[in-house]
Amino acid sequence: MTQKAKLGLIGLAVMGANLARNAARNGFTTCVYNRTYSKTENFMKEFGNNPHLVSAETLEELVEKLEKPRKILLMIKAGEAVDKTIEQILPLIEKGDIIIDGGNSYYKDTQRREKYLSGKGIEYVGMGVSGGEEGALNGPSLMPGANLKAYNELKPILEAISAKANGEPCVDYIGKDGAGHYVKTVHNGIEYADMQMIADVYMFMKEILCMTTDEMANTWEKWNKGKLSSYLVEITSQILRKKDDETGKPMVDVILDKAMQKGTGKWTSLSALELGTAAPTITEAVFARIMSSNKEERTALAKIYETVNLPKTDIDKKQIIDDLENALYGAKICAYAQGFNLIAQASKTYDWDVKLGNIAKIWRNGCIIRAGFLDRVTEAYEKQKEIENLLFTDYFAKALKESRAGWGRIVSTAVLSGVAVPALGSALQYFDAYRKSQSGASLIQAQRDYFGAHTYERNDKKGTFHTEWF
């Protein structure tokens, strides 16, 4: 080979293989390597007719085939495998070379690795990649955390392979060290909330409105043309239409209701607790997945509580579908508000200087939470740059005010009917608590002072006070 490769890619599972094909399709010669060589051979057998794809059997060969500064993208299992692979590459590369981790790594691991490698003169980039296998192949949303110098080296490749929204690439500089992986983590946290809200609405339609899956699909399809237009709403309508080949039943009726998770929702929630930033709806969605996975317990409890006294509810059938749309929209705004708020807080804590408007922009296409809604978020941040929480922006304030009545009717109907809507309910509680100047915490402060002399502040004068309660 005369010409050296522009990019090295380690890890040929689905995401890695598709990203390699994406880079090659865009004219960036990519040299692929996989720990298990047979996977590399299979990949080359299938796709090696593209002259921009070359392969290496060993890491030495990979490094040898790369243009300098070398750019090596790791698409391997998060955790120990990343540390191990870094240690294997380190003796082979030189100062100024760039290692990019495109897996779903924990942002604190990325911060640790960046510190370790910058001490050796190696640029380390933690890059969030969203879009699943289709996105990886045709254009993902990319969230690179890096030094600006390393980002600029990578920029032409990243911009070429990323998704485009209104002609703009869905990639931008996020911030240093763990910023990219953090933003990807929060993206996934929002995704958890978004999916749970959709599941809440599905259960409302199924259990309270007794809609057929085809009727539901029609509604989701209609919603996808309006303010809820998004990838997740679109796939929901398609999923609801799909029938099982074996039984002829709707697919969703034969799929076991136990939701799996890989940890990013949990990391988002842990970070919210650690940073002291409220993200209850994201956390509620993580708990809802945990609850769903306790299928055996739920089944046993269903027998015990088969007959629960529930009040009679009247449903205005004409209004209820519009109410559901508003409930989902209001809750969605709150979940994104929580996510953006969290990014803003982490950015301050870790000195990342993340531009929230840019995050909205790069999520507009390629990623799982892509939605027409993100155009509105982008516009809101263009008008009001410094705002950390979407609830303060004019556009979303208006939308929330318009949604509140219908959203409230949905949550109260669900409560009266005994159907859990954890994400819709949590978001409503968040909104109602956040939009009030007065909370019940004066009583909590009084209790803390009562039993522990923890003191309190007053609302009519400055200072710290204690009362002799007895």
**Binding-site residues from annotation:** 11-16, 34-36, 76-78, 104, 130-132, 187-188, 192, 262, 289, 448, 454
Annotate each residue in 57-86 with x if it binds ligand ATR (CB under 6 A) or - if it does not, as one string.
-------------------xx---x--xx-
Q: Is 321 in the site for ligand ATR (CB under 6 A)?
A: no
With respect to ligand ATR, which residue has the nearer C-beta, 72 or 217? 72
Annotate each residue in 9-48 with x if it binds ligand ATR (CB under 6 A) or - if it does not, as one string.
--xxx--x-----------------xxx--x---------
Q: What is the DSSP string of 426-462?
A: HHHHHHHHHT-S--THHHHHHHHHHHH---B--SSS-
With respect to ligand ATR, which residue has the nearer C-beta, 85 or 130? 85
Active site annotation includes 184: yes
DSSP state of 70: P
Is residue 421 packed enough to be buried (19+ CB in 10 Å), middle (13-18) or exposed (0-12)?
buried
Tokens of 88: 């294997």
Q: Is 55 in the site for ligand ATR (CB under 6 A)?
A: no
Q: Is 330 in the site for ligand ATR (CB under 6 A)?
A: no
Minimum Å gap between C-beta 9 and ligand ATR is: 10
Q: Is 459 in the site for ligand ATR (CB under 6 A)?
A: no
Tokens of 427: 């978001």
Strands 123-130 and 98-101: parallel
Give the integer Cα–Cα distance in Å for 111 and 115: 6
Minimum Å gap between C-beta 17 and ligand ATR is: 9
Of 114, 191, 284, 325, which one is the catalytic site residue? 191
Active site annotation includes 295: no
CA dist list (Å): 454 to 438, 440, 443: 21, 17, 13
With respect to ligand ATR, which residue has the nearer C-beta, 81 or 259? 81
Place of tokens 């155009």: 375
- For residues 158-172, one letter each, b for 16 or more C-beta atoms within 10 angstroms of the residue's C-beta and e for the rest, the string is bbbbbbebeebbbbb
Helix (H, G, I), strand (E, B) or coil at 168: strand
* Nearest 10 degrees: Cα torsion 303, 315, 193, 256: 40
With respect to ligand ATR, which residue has the nearer C-beta, 39 or 243? 39
Q: Is the separation of the CB atoms in 453 and 459 below 8 Å?
A: no
Of 6, 65, 176, 184, which one is the catalytic site residue? 184
With respect to ligand ATR, which residue has the nearer C-beta, 85 or 110? 85
Tokens of 135: 């996105």
Minimum Å gap between C-beta 70 and ligand ATR is: 18
Contacts to ligand ATR by CB under 6 A: 11-13, 16, 34-36, 39, 76-77, 81, 84-85
- The set of catalytic residues is 184, 191
